[in-house]
C-alpha cells in the first residue's frame, strides 16, 4: 500500500492529513540524515574545508591513502572532476560501469555513489570542490547538480574531447589551475581558483549536447523540476499522476518527457530513482533492510523486498551481501 494513501485512510480530516504528510517528510529527512552518518560517505577533507577546493595529480592521489578508500563503494558530499591525460580505466557511478581513456573528463556530483574499478595505469588530474566553493561567486552554476555536465540522468558522466585544439586548451587551463593551487597562501587565492574553475566549467559547457533528442529548454526544465520533486517527495508517493498534478501538466505529457530523457515511462523513472536511493542505503552495513524499507515509505518490509527484487532480480539482503 502506498504510504500517502495509507495516511489518508487514517486521517479523514484534510488538515490533519496534510499535517501528517508534512510530518512524514520531516521524519524521512531525519532518517536519511541518520543513515547518512553511517553510510560509506566521504566528506571533503577537513584540512581543506576552509578553502573548499583541491586539485591533485592522479598519480599523487593513487599513491596516497585516498585510493584505499576509493576502491570501495561510497557516496561523496562534494563534486569531482577528473581529466585523463594518459591511459584508460573503468569507473562505477551510481552502480553503472563507465570505461574511460585519455582526453576524457569524468564528472561525479555530490550525493552520487561511485567506486574506482580499474585506475592505477591512468594519469591526469582530479579536481574536488564543495558546493559552497562553487556557489560563493558563481551564480551561473548554482543549480549545477541538475545541469550539464553533472546531471547524469540527462547527460553521460564522461565527456570525450576529440578536437586536438580543445585537448591542448584543457591541458593548459588545468595545468595552470594546478600551479595556482600549489602556490603559497595569499588573500586572493580562493577567488583566483574560483575564477579558473568557472572558466573551466564554461569551456566544458561548449560541449553541451545540442541534439534535438535531448529536448528543448521547456522540456528540459519540466524534467529537472520532476527530478527536484522526486528528491524531496519520492518517499511520499510513487504515483506518476501525483507528480503530473504537482507540475501542472497532463499525465501523458509527463510520460512523454520521461521517455524523451530516460527512455522510460514516468512510473519506470520514479521507480528507478527510488531503487537508486535504496541501493545507496543498503551499501551501509549498519542499516537493516527493515530500516531502509521504512525510510523509503514502505509500511511493510516484505513489500519493499518484492519491489526491490522486481527491479533488480536480487532481494535487498542478497544485494547487501554482494556489496
Question: What secondary structure does DSSP assign to 11-73, as a single string?
Answer: --SHHHHHHHHHHHHHHHHHHHHHHHHHSSEEPPPGGGTTTTEEEEEHHHHHHSTHHHHHTS-
Assign 84 to helix, strand or coil. strand
Distances (CA, A) of 319 to 271, 278, 309: 17, 10, 9
Asked whether residue 142 carries a pLDDT value surpassing 90, the answer given is: no
**In this structure, how many other beta carbons lie within 10 angstroms of the beta carbon of residue 213?**
8
- The pairing of strands 104-108 and 96-101 is unpaired
Domain layout of the chain by residue ranges: 3-38+213-322, 42-209
- The pairing of strands 41-42 and 53-57 is unpaired
Contact 35, 288 (CB under 8 A): no
Report the pLDDT value the prediction gives residue 42, as an integer from 0 to 100. Answer: 79
Angle in degrees, CA 179, 66, 322, rounded to 5: 140
| pTM: predicted TM-score of the whole model, two decimal places | 0.81
The top-level CATH class assigned to 3-38+213-322 is mainly alpha
**In this structure, how many other beta carbons lie within 10 angstroms of the beta carbon of residue 159?**
21
Burial class from Cβ neighbours inside 10 Å (0-12, 13-18, 19+) for residue 251 reads middle
Could you identify the residue written with the cell 597562501?
185
183-187: long-range contacts, CB 8 A cutoff, minimum separation 24: none
Short-list 208, 131, 206, CA closest to 173: 206
Q: Write the CB contacts of 226 (distance below 8 Å, at least 6 apart in sequence).
A: 243, 247, 254, 257, 258, 266, 269
Buried b / exposed e along 88-120 (16+ C-beta atoms within 10 A): ebebebbbeebebebbbbbbbbbbbbbbbeebe
Please name every residue paired with 160 in a beta bridge, in sequence order, or none if there are none. 104
State the pLDDT confidence band at 136, using cuts at 50, 70 and 90.
confident
Asked whether residue 175 carries a pLDDT value surpassing 70, the answer given is: yes
pLDDT in tens, 246-292: 999 999 999 999 999 999 999 999 999 999 999 988 887 677 899 89
Element (H, E) at 127: strand 123-129
Report the pLDDT value the prediction gives residue 121, as an integer from 0 to 100. Answer: 81
Do the first three CATH levels of 3-38+213-322 and 42-209 match, i.e. the same topology? no
Report the pLDDT value the prediction gives residue 132, as an integer from 0 to 100. Answer: 87
CATH dotted code for 42-209 = 2.60.120.280
Bond prior to 312 in cis (omega within 30° of 0): no
Report the pLDDT value the prediction gives residue 6, as an integer from 0 to 100. Answer: 41
Amino acid at each position: 500500500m502506498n504510504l500517502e494513501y495509507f495516511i489518508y485512510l487514517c486521517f479523514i480530516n484534510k488538515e490533519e492529513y496534510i499535517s501528517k504528510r508534512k510530518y512524514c517528510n520531516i521524519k524521512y529527512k531525519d532518517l536519511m540524515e541518520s543513515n547518512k552518518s553511517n553510510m560509506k560517505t566521504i566528506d571533503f577533507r577537513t584540512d581543506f574545508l576552509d578553502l573548499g577546493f583541491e586539485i591533485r595529480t592522479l598519480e599523487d592521489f593513487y599513491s596516497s591513502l585516498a585510493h584505499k578508500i576509493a576502491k570501495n563503494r561510497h557516496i561523496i558530499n562534494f563534486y569531482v572532476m577528473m581529466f585523463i591525460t594518459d591511459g584508460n580505466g573503468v569507473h562505477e557511478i551510481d552502480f553503472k560501469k563507465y570505461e574511460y581513456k585519455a582526453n576524457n573528463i569524468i564528472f561525479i556530483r555530490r550525493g552520487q555513489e561511485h567506486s574506482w574499478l580499474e585506475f592505477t595505469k591512468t594519469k591526469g588530474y582530479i579536481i574536488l570542490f564543495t558546493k559552497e566553493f562553487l556557489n560563493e561567486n558563481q551564480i551561473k552554476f548554482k543549480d549545477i547538480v541538475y545541469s550539464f555536465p553533472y546531471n547524469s540522468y540527462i547527460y553521460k558522466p564522461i565527456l570525450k574531447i576529440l578536437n586536438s585544439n580543445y585537448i591542448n586548451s584543457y591541458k593548459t587551463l588545468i595545468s595552470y589551475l594546478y600551479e595556482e593551487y600549489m602556490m603559497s597562501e595569499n588573500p586572493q587565492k580562493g577567488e583566483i581558483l574560483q575564477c579558473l574553475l568557472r572558466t573551466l566549467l564554461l569551456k566544458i559547457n561548449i560541449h553541451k549536447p545540442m541534439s534535438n533528442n535531448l529536448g528543448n529548454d521547456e522540456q528540459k526544465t519540466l524534467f529537472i523540476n520532476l527530478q527536484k520533486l522526486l528528491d524531496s517527495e519520492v518517499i511520499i508517493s510513487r504515483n506518476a499522476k501525483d507528480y503530473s498534478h504537482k507540475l501542472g501538466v497532463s499525465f501523458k505529457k509527463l510520460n512523454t518527457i520521461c521517455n524523451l530523457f530516460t527512455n522510460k515511462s514516468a512510473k519506470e523513472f520514479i521507480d528507478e530513482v527510488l531503487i537508486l536511493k535504496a541501493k545507496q542505503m543498503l551499501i551501509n552495513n549498519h542499516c537493516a533492510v527493515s530500516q531502509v524499507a521504512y525510510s523509503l515509505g514502505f509500511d511493510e518490509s516484505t513489500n519493499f523486498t518484492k519491489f526491490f527484487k522486481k527491479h533488480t532480480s536480487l532481494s535487498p539482503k542478497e544485494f547487501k551481501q554482494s556489496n
